[in-house]
Structure 1
Amino acid sequence: MIDTLAFNYRKQLFAYDPSHVKGLSNPLTKAQIKTNNIKMNAYEMKLFLNTILLMNGDLIDEFDSVYKFLITFIKIVDIVMYEEFSDDILNELRALIVDHHTFYTTGFKEKLKPKHHFMVHYVNCIKELGPLKFLWCFRFEGKHAEFKKYANNITSRKNIPLTLATKYCFQFCSYLFGNSFFQNDLVDCKNFSPIDLSKLEFYQNLCTKFTIGNEVLSMRYKGVLYEKNYYVKSKNTVLLILKIFFDLHNEIFLICQECKTSFSEKFQSHEVLGTNNAYYLKKIDLKSVPSKLYTLNDGKKVVRFF
């Protein structure tokens, strides 16, 4: 059992990635926990789910049944967000959903809701339609927050839908005329500096003909922040970003070093144990969103990709 005050203390002081700060939810109250009525929007819940073990995993009994249920749910969310699936992964997803629903009805004594029924069809939907992350309504539902702000700021109550639609039209025109709507894929890219890759001590290990280009310390590509000393995942290998490199054709590459890692079942994260003498020149893609290195309360260094 974790004290509410201690839980909120860890939650608020957790070293979040700067790009996740906007997803911080309000502290939990005893009344919310007692009534099982925790108020969060979708983005806040997503961040909360992906960081709860990093914040409080060291306080949780690994043999606790509710903890095992949480692990099952996190695994389901992680798998559903994959972009590629094998038969083994789909079979694992089907088994996890069965375990989730079984404990939900027997452990919590709750009845399944319609959204639980939808989960039963996840595997078939993936087989028929492909990765579910390309079909979800997450970004569309995110637009609700904007209209809620409009509704709180207007005083007209005669025709609220028309007022909201008109206000949004003005906002959209502002985007268009302000050139903030049509942005390049690459933004917030600063501090260019020339670099000669051939002078790197590990250049021979990169297996590339590239030598001259430009280096940046950080950049935002298609809304995703890439920084030096962040980590990316390539299949089952965790890579440390050493340099962000542009060739003469403005193609973007990451110069990475392979890490020694061990997957922690308790924290559902990769514990970083060191680095190997293996280097890669990896063309940038969005299959693995970069992660910062998190230091847990017990001193372990981990990365979690979400």
Structure 2
Amino acid sequence: MISPEDRFWVVAEAIRGNVHRGYIIDWDQRRWYAVCGPKSLLPPEEEKEVDDDGILISTDAGDDPTLIPYYPRYSDTPSLHDCSTIRLSELTELDRLGPGVDLMSYVDEAVTRKVVFKYSMIVQWMQQIWNELHLVKSFRHPNLVPFDRVVVDDVESRVLGFTTTYIPGGTLGQKRDRVFRFEWLQQLTAVVDYLNLELGVVHQDVAPRNLLISPTTDEIQLFDFDRAAPITRAALPWNDVTGVIFTLYEIMTEDSHLCEVEGPYTPDMPPPSPLLEGCSEAGKPIYNTGVSRRRSDALKQKKNVIWERPPQQQSNCRR
């Protein structure tokens, strides 16, 4: 089950005049919603419940403002032709583990196997899933969660995502009462050396929440490579050596506040000032707080910024 704090994600927001509109994804139901209401009820950058005066635009699945990602056809991806595939219809959903991560099962030679299915239902994450798929399928290390299959759709065999072996028991971040063994630290440093020094890959998110213990081998297993990058393009604050140090610190002290430290403070941008359009008969100023949607209206507002290139004078020079 997806935790309540991870279930909803605000994709975009827009304010036009006094109307605040937000587009929200419900990862549990895989639904998009458009929520619209006055700024007094839906103030930006503030948590507030919508009461009866708020309007939920999307009440029918057919009205969802859903963006359809383009998934590449398996036939057009020769880099994946050495991988086993499975159709989406062959997977049975057991649980939602997180946004775009489901616990599934399928039958293989009369044996039911549990796997973790990772996919993207939004365009913004497709490149991450694609990169992670190619990384995970190439790994050969006992302390990395094994790759399973490429998942394709049933109509055109488009690549939707991939599955990995399901490791039960929860992460080290979830099972804080588990005694951490020194050999697990040795295994973690060994797998980081394998990634950094042999493959030139930086995980960039080594943390207790991304570490499992295999019940069959009793060894540590690292997963979740959606932030991984070549070592030449890695972000310095996210290097794996620092990740190992803070992982050990968090496990030993159960102090995770360092993961919540915010970066440098940046003041919020002030709201846009209304444009003075003129004065009423009584001499009171009239302000325009709306958004100009037509060029003719925008040109009337002398103080507005018009992002329009002026006519270019032709040169008489011959070349």
Report the structure, 1 or 2, having the larger strand content.
Answer: 2
TM-score, scaled to structure 2: 0.24
Structure of higher RCO (CA pairs closer than 8 Å, 6+ residues apart):
1
- Higher-Rg structure is 2
Report the structure, 1 or 2, having the larger helix content.
Answer: 1
TM-score, scaled to structure 1: 0.25
